[in-house]
A and B are shown apart, each in its own frame.
Chain A
């Protein structure tokens, strides 16, 4: 099956620093990737849609200047949390869309646990 990886799996950083999270589709090309965020005991919340070669589309309430998304190639999207603060601590998950003749399917990465001290 299709595999999506994320790096790093967990990161601890100091308040005010920036953190970059990578999402890669390992065995397929994905023109569209999605970034989600999950708070404890809450649902996955879509943050933004990442489109290869164009600007990301952010969901309402998500600060585009704080959460920078770059989809530089068909297999890589990056999420940079700029000037991170403790309230940004969360579990960040990406997904990539595999396009099939029978229909598209999303595959999820394993997630990245961000802790901001």
Chain B
């Protein structure tokens, strides 16, 4: 039973264009969401997060949108750069709980020069 789903295993975009990575969740208890970027054979690095009390959070080229009614969030990267090529994981947890992160399966983003 996947509580966090990233239905697109891969995404390819041209440099300079927008990359949109999607994530859906099923557990309505989740109230904090995070995006991590991961290169092969390395640990994930934190990118951006959003609390359920917000619907948008922006940090430079990265913006995360949260639609609570649809239980959907997305990560927008604009403009995309070749160095953004990596696997992006969506994660969620319940702040009042044990802080156990639940991860999606990841989306491999390739930004072509």
Judge whether B106 and A108 touch: CB under 8 Å: no
Question: How many interface residues does chain B have, given as a range?
Answer: 10 to 19
B105:A93 contact, CB within 8 angstroms: no
- Chain A interface residue bracket vs B: 20 to 34
| Contacting residues, chain B, for A44 (C-beta < 8 A) | 44, 89, 101, 103
Q: Who on chain A is nearest to B40 by CB?
A: A91
Specify the main secondary structure of chain A where it touches its partner: strand
Q: CB-CB < 8 A to A67: which residues of B?
A: none
Residues of chain B within 8 A of A25, CB atoms compared: none
**Interface digits, B94-105 against A, CB 8 Å rule (1 contact, 0 not)?**
010011111111
Q: Which residues of A contact B104 (CB under 8 A)?
A: 43
Q: How distant is the Cα of A93 from the Cα of B39 in the complex, in angstroms?
A: 13
A108 in contact with B45 (CB, 8 Å): yes
Given A43-B89, A49-B98, the answer on whether A110 and B106 have CB atoms closer than 8 Å is no
Contacts of B113 in A (CB 8 A): none
Contact A42 B44 (CB under 8 A): no
Chain B residues packing against A (C-beta within 8 Å): 9, 36, 41-46, 89, 95, 98-106
- A residues near B (Cβ < 8 Å) are 4, 6, 10, 32, 34, 41-46, 49, 91, 93, 95, 97, 103-111, 113
